[in-house]
Structure 1
Amino acid sequence: MRFSRTLKALGFTVATALAPLMAANAQAAGTITVAVAIDPGSWDPIDTFLVDWSSAANNMFDGLTARGADMKLKPGLATSWEMLDNNSRIRFKLRENVKFHNGEPFNAAAVKFTFDRLLGEEGKKGPQQSNYNTIDKVEVVDDNTVDFVMKQPDPVLLTKLAGYGAMIVPPKYIQEKGEDYFNTHPVGTGPFKFVEYSPKVSLTLEAFPEHWGGAPKLDKVVTRFISEANTQVAELQAGRIDVATLIPFGLAPTVEKSQNLDLISITGPTVVSLRLNTKNGITKDENVRKALIMGIDRDAIIKAVLLGHGKPIASFQSELSFGNDPALKPLPFDLAKAKQMLQQAKVPAGAPVKIDFRGNDATFREVAQAAAGFLQALGLKPSLQPYEPPVLLNDIIPNGKTGEAWHQAWGGWTFDYDNTAYLMYHSGEKWNPYDNDPKLNEMLEKQRTIYNVQEREKLLQEIARYVADRALEIPLYNQNTIYGVNKRVKNFDAPSDRRFRFQETSVE
């Protein structure tokens, strides 16, 4: 493939046309319809890590803690908590008079059942157990009090309890109905209860008026599974969905100009980088890695491909992440300096740089083409290798089969740099197939033992600076979270992490 040296000649192409505007709004009063890309296949909290699961299930389930769109942690099914026994025990006071959707009472026994299940054999089958393995056991103090006995400190645990695997489930219902039935007929304590699930088609919820936080203003929440972004936009324009979660950057202006629609573009958790092979090829050399960073104009890529719906990053986290250092600046784009550094490192002209990426990501394909154009301008020989996501994520990366660079997109739903940094840079982790840095390992392990917020934040920022100095990746951008929303939707508090909570939302 021949790559141009200038953005003008890079040949960026984005869809700019849609089918004509279809019929007017067809939704019933009191019902909001949301489109997400993926059907998780199971609604059991311990079975998935998919954001699209939480986009729907965050309305069905509650955790002991909660986190709203404002990113602040607050009480959920626990009204308060305190650290005991030198931080080795966390005591939770539970909300009283709460019921599951099937009428089963919520109490300390339900919390213990939830975590015994998560940390036991059933939890081993899913991807969530490892997020909570700092918990040794849960002990019932009384009907409204539980203690979490910790194996080791976990300063991120309270945030984790607000989502995914830690959502509280009903013991009697699961024991009577079985795990498989629960997967497709979920019961929680959330503001909306399960009505119907049609695999690959939709999930329907209806209001649970007895919710402890008050009755929702909506009657129903319908989640439709639509994997094609253009189809989501077409359905949004036709009024058949109210919220679209897949808006191609090229179609954002189209949505923005629509009379009946609003485009919401906000800072989100998703960051994108080209991780670098520190073991093989020219990228073994730290100075070569820095030259590659300086040789790619990230600002131009954000402008041309993302149409401005993103921000440059200096480390692999968004500005919303705990541990982000606003004083840390990315290496500047400097083609001449980058060429000089490659010459000093004795990198031969035409040296290969292979970029492995997720072949289903049309946006990143354009980003990769742009990056390859800049690498060619450095005198290198770039190549692009697309893979099916399961192959790239479960074989090529963890088994160390990548080229010099590979595509990594990461959400970090806890908005805590630990959730990213430990998994990306600690030796032996799935996403770190090449690097083994004892100093970095030590820093990553140490921050997990610190509950003091200021002390831990300082260490996380030090980790970010250390990673940047070693140039372990080319940090590309923080991608905005974009929604298309019908104007009939009122009081929609757009979450940056797509974990919707529609309790206060209404529709006209």
Structure 2
Amino acid sequence: MALGVKGIKTAFMAALLAGAAFAATPAEAAGKLTISSPQDPGSWDPIDTFLVNWASVGTNIFDGLTYRGPDRKLVPGLAESWTEMDGGKRIRFKLRSGVTFHNGEPFNAAAVKFTFDRLLGEEGAKGPQRSNYIAIESVEVIDDTTVDLKLKAPDPVLLTKLAGYGAMIVPPKYIQEKGDAFFNVNPVGTGPFKFVSYAPKTGIKLEANPNYWGGAPKLSEVEYRFITEPATAVAELQAGRVDVVLPPTIPIGMVPVIQADPKLTVLSIPGPTVDALRFNTKSGITADPRVRKALIMAVDRAAIVKSILAGQASEIASFQGELSFGYDPALKPLPFDPKGAQALLAQAGVKPGATVQIDIRGNDATMNEVAQAVAAYLGAVGVVATIKPYETNVLLNDIIPQGKTGAMFQQKWGGWTFDYDNTAYAMYHSGEKWNPYEQDADLDKLLESQRAITDVAERERILKQIAHAVADKALEMPLYNSNAIYGVAKRVKNFPPASDNRPKLTEVTVD
């Protein structure tokens, strides 16, 4: 079961006193920044991951053809410019000259082709990223600094997708010589920082790339420590052994603790991350949409946001926040209506005492509290909820994709493109990794159709239609859109609190 705010603070004080549990050397080396990240992605290959905590690191090792910074504006990356041709079915990129990978290998059009051939081929099929790029039919090398992406159909979000995750450009010769398994744990990119070492479950160390095409970083070293326990991460921040704690680590109840420390500050900005409790729609009582709607109506989500999230989030009606393209302000959440919920449950033949299991990430202290509140609300309408915490990687890799969840399960999604397609296709299209239960041919058609539409207004209309369809089927209990909350030592200067949790560290300095 989850710790309450009081329990979190108690655990925090215990962690602070247990100095032996921490690294012996504070993060005081000149030019070194130490960052607490809540999760080890397990692989540093861009095509192996969907995790925002990979991107927090990967943004500083790799580059894409395009780049999107904290202001959410798309600008040139490894491509100096691009031109859409053939009605949007071909994009020609003019590449930067003189760029090299960290191992000295040249960056050129051949590297771009290798990257996308690999992403869309057998190796990419093993990971979760390929479906984001299936609009690409082929990559054609025009010359060393010119490359075309030939598309099966126009993809209005593709240029944004090229700024992150699977589209990060990788070194052909290095991977061909060393192999994929070696590359997973010894990454090489063109980014501002070079890989030094990686200790699974412990951390990854980087050093400045003095030859970075965008200008040498002002830091000499960056170390990411994987600290799964929020109380420990905050204690390390206060002790000076960590300079930055990344989202989504910091529980709402710990924000005042950080704010009260004169050496620290809290940076909180609206972000794309949303939380929901999704339903097993295939078996058990939640296979009935009436039951799903009843469970949603039984929970006062607005009260949870107000009391537990303390102004650091907003209630949602669909699995996206207000910054998302496709957000419909006219779509309202199902009302909090316990009597209506009981009537629906009775109509569905669910008797008092029926049970549901809620699967959550064990290290998400805020969700632990939320899940307890949800369980209490469900109990009030006669449904007994048990909470089962999992280690995050186990839940994400072994439980959800395999369809082994309880009746309800936590889904936290970054939605980093700020486009509902990035969320909706992954969550609701048949056969996708994050959709282990639902198959809906009509919903599939809607999801597929909007990807080929370049008319902005028409595409937005279809995305809104998708959100309404999902709400009508009650595929999830939408909860809240979280702020991205960073804990930062005041000795850190020019830190960019990116809403998508992908801060690029080139301008950061430390006193």
Same fold (TM over 0.5): yes
Question: 1: CA distance between counterparts of 2:4 and 2:233?
Answer: 26
RMSD: 2.8
2:107 match: 106
Secondary structure at the counterpart of residue 308 of structure 1: coil
- Partner letter of residue 83 of structure 2? E
Say if 1:205 and 1:278 are closer, same or farther in 2 by CA, change over 3 A.
closer
2:60 match: 59
1:317 to 298, 304, 320: 320
Q: Give the Å deviation of 1:294.
A: 2.0
Question: 2: CA distance between counterparts of 1:339 and 1:373?
Answer: 15
Q: Give the Å deviation of 1:497.
A: 1.9
Q: Give the Å deviation of 1:177.
A: 4.3
Please, which moves more after superposition, 351-360 or 73-82? 351-360
Equivalent positions of 1:271-350 (< 5 A) are 271-343=274-346, 347-350=350-353
Q: What do residues 29-81 of structure 1 show as CA deviations (whole Å, max 9, x unaligned)?
A: 32211111233343332233322222122112110011111122111111222
Say if 1:105 and 1:445 are closer, same or farther in 2 by CA, change over 3 A.
same
Q: What do residues 140-181 of structure 1 show as CA deviations (whole Å, max 9, x unaligned)?
A: 111211011223433222112111221112233334444444
Question: 2: CA distance between counterparts of 1:203 and 1:459?
Answer: 42
1:352 match: 355
Say if 1:443 and 1:211 are closer, same or farther in 2 by CA, change over 3 A.
same
Structure 1 residue 81 and structure 2 residue 74: aligned? no
Structure 1 residue 43 and structure 2 residue 44: aligned? yes
Please, which moves more after superposition, 213-222 or 248-257? 213-222
- Partner letter of residue 309 of structure 2? L
Say if 1:54 and 1:84 are closer, same or farther in 2 by CA, change over 3 A.
same
Q: Give the Å deviation of 1:419.
A: 1.8
- Partner letter of residue 463 of structure 2? L
Structure 1 residue 208 and structure 2 residue 201: aligned? no
- Partner letter of residue 293 of structure 2? K
Question: 1: CA distance between counterparts of 2:95 and 2:212?
Answer: 15
- Partner letter of residue 158 of structure 1? L
1:7 match: none
1:466 to 469, 474, 482: 469
2:478 match: 475
- Partner letter of residue 8 of structure 2? A
Q: Give the Å deviation of 1:114.
A: 1.8
Q: Is the 8 A contact 1:24 1:239 kept in 2?
A: no
Question: 2: CA distance between counterparts of 1:149 and 1:366?
Answer: 48
Question: 1: CA distance between counterparts of 2:253 and 2:29?
Answer: 30
Question: 1: CA distance between counterparts of 2:293 and 2:509?
Answer: 50
2:273 match: 270
Q: Is the 8 A contact 1:27 1:241 kept in 2?
A: no
2:445 to 442, 446, 449: 442
2:499 match: 496
Equivalent positions of 1:113-262 (< 5 A) are 113-245=114-246, 246-262=249-265
2:509 match: 506
Q: Give the Å deviation of 1:228.
A: 2.2
Structure 1, unaligned stretches of length 5 or more? 2-9
Q: Is the 8 A contact 1:92 1:147 kept in 2?
A: yes
Q: Give the Å deviation of 1:279.
A: 4.3
1:410 to 396, 410, 413: 413
Say if 1:343 and 1:195 are closer, same or farther in 2 by CA, change over 3 A.
closer
Question: 1: CA distance between counterparts of 2:86 and 2:494?
Answer: 43
Say if 1:362 and 1:26 are closer, same or farther in 2 by CA, change over 3 A.
closer
Say if 1:26 and 1:102 are closer, same or farther in 2 by CA, change over 3 A.
closer
1:5 match: none
Please, which moves more after superposition, 125-134 or 420-429? 125-134
Please, which moves more after superposition, 76-85 or 122-131? 122-131
Q: Give the Å deviation of 1:475.
A: 0.6
Question: 1: CA distance between counterparts of 2:27 and 2:283?
Answer: 56
Secondary structure at the counterpart of residue 8 of structure 2: coil
Question: 2: CA distance between counterparts of 1:391 and 1:173?
Answer: 31
Q: Give the Å deviation of 1:207.
A: 2.3
Q: Give the Å deviation of 1:243.
A: 0.3
2:455 match: 452
Q: Give the Å deviation of 1:255.
A: 0.6
Question: 1: CA distance between counterparts of 2:240 and 2:488?
Answer: 10
Question: 1: CA distance between counterparts of 2:141 and 2:464?
Answer: 38
Q: Give the Å deviation of 1:340.
A: 4.2
Number of residue pairs the alignment of both structures matches: 500
Please, which moves more after superposition, 469-478 or 201-210? 201-210
Say if 1:359 and 1:30 are closer, same or farther in 2 by CA, change over 3 A.
closer
Say if 1:110 and 1:498 are closer, same or farther in 2 by CA, change over 3 A.
same
Q: Is the 8 A contact 1:24 1:238 kept in 2?
A: no
2:8 match: 15
Please, which moves more after superposition, 355-364 or 145-154? 355-364
Question: 2: CA distance between counterparts of 1:404 and 1:184?
Answer: 36
Structure 1 residue 27 and structure 2 residue 20: aligned? no
2:428 match: 425
Say if 1:483 and 1:286 are closer, same or farther in 2 by CA, change over 3 A.
same
Question: 2: CA distance between counterparts of 1:393 and 1:184?
Answer: 20
Question: 2: CA distance between counterparts of 1:137 and 1:343?
Answer: 55
Say if 1:450 and 1:351 are closer, same or farther in 2 by CA, change over 3 A.
same
Question: 1: CA distance between counterparts of 2:241 and 2:455?
Answer: 49
Identity, % of aligned positions: 64
Question: 2: CA distance between counterparts of 1:27 and 1:106?
Answer: 35
Q: Give the Å deviation of 1:307.
A: 3.4
1:365 match: 368
Q: Is the 8 A contact 1:12 1:304 kept in 2?
A: no
Say if 1:507 and 1:396 are closer, same or farther in 2 by CA, change over 3 A.
closer
- Partner letter of residue 104 of structure 1? E
Please, which moves more after superposition, 426-435 or 15-24? 15-24
Q: Give the Å deviation of 1:389.
A: 4.7
Say if 1:425 and 1:101 are closer, same or farther in 2 by CA, change over 3 A.
closer
What is the TM-score with the length of structure 1 in the denominator? 0.89
Secondary structure at the counterpart of residue 252 of structure 1: helix
Please, which moves more after superposition, 474-483 or 202-211? 202-211
Please, which moves more after superposition, 318-327 or 347-356? 347-356
Secondary structure at the counterpart of residue 38 of structure 1: coil
Say if 1:60 and 1:353 are closer, same or farther in 2 by CA, change over 3 A.
closer
Question: 1: CA distance between counterparts of 2:402 and 2:106?
Answer: 47
Say if 1:119 and 1:278 are closer, same or farther in 2 by CA, change over 3 A.
closer
Structure 2, unaligned stretches of length 5 or more? none
Please, which moves more after superposition, 80-89 or 260-269? 80-89
Please, which moves more after superposition, 77-86 or 351-360? 351-360
Q: Is the 8 A contact 2:299 2:374 kept in 1?
A: yes
- Partner letter of residue 374 of structure 1? Y
Q: Give the Å deviation of 1:312.
A: 0.7
Say if 1:472 and 1:65 are closer, same or farther in 2 by CA, change over 3 A.
same
